Amino acid sequence: MTEFKFDPSTISVPAGKVVFYLVNAGNGTSHNLIIRDSGGKKIAGSELVSAGDQSVFTVDNIAAGTYTIFCDQPGHEASGMKGTLTVT
Ligand SMILES: [Cu+2]
């Protein structure tokens, strides 16, 4: 995570338990990773990760589908901090 993007921004995983290793490689801004389903509902979200820090974010059981990942800090998604999570 940096200002203002996820790299990679396109992620594919098998359904079930998913573990994300979040690294904030940005320049002083905290970020998180929120998962939103195709209906716009938030289904899971990480803690805020400070610049220079790392965090492990576990989702216990995610169903197959296409999801949006984004950072919910003000303005970050609009600045491009979003991506696609495909669960198969
Ligand atoms: Cu952010």
Burial of 46 (0-12, 13-18, 19+ CB in 10 A): buried
Distance of alpha carbon 30 from alpha carbon 15, whole angstroms? 28
60 CA distance to ligand 1 centroid (A)?
23
**Minimal CA–CA distance to 6: which of 18, 16, 17, 21?**
21
Model pLDDT, residue 8 = 98
Question: Full-prediction pTM beyond 0.75?
Answer: yes
Model pLDDT, residue 40 = 97
43 CA distance to ligand 1 centroid (A)?
18
Backbone phi, then psi, for 9, in 5-degree steps?
-105, -5
**Minimal CA–CA distance to 68: which of 47, 48, 87, 51?**
87
Q: Could you read off the pLDDT of 14-70 as tens digits, one per residue?
A: 999 999 999 999 999 999 999 999 999 999 999 999 999 999 999 999 999 999 999
81 CA distance to ligand 1 centroid (A)?
6
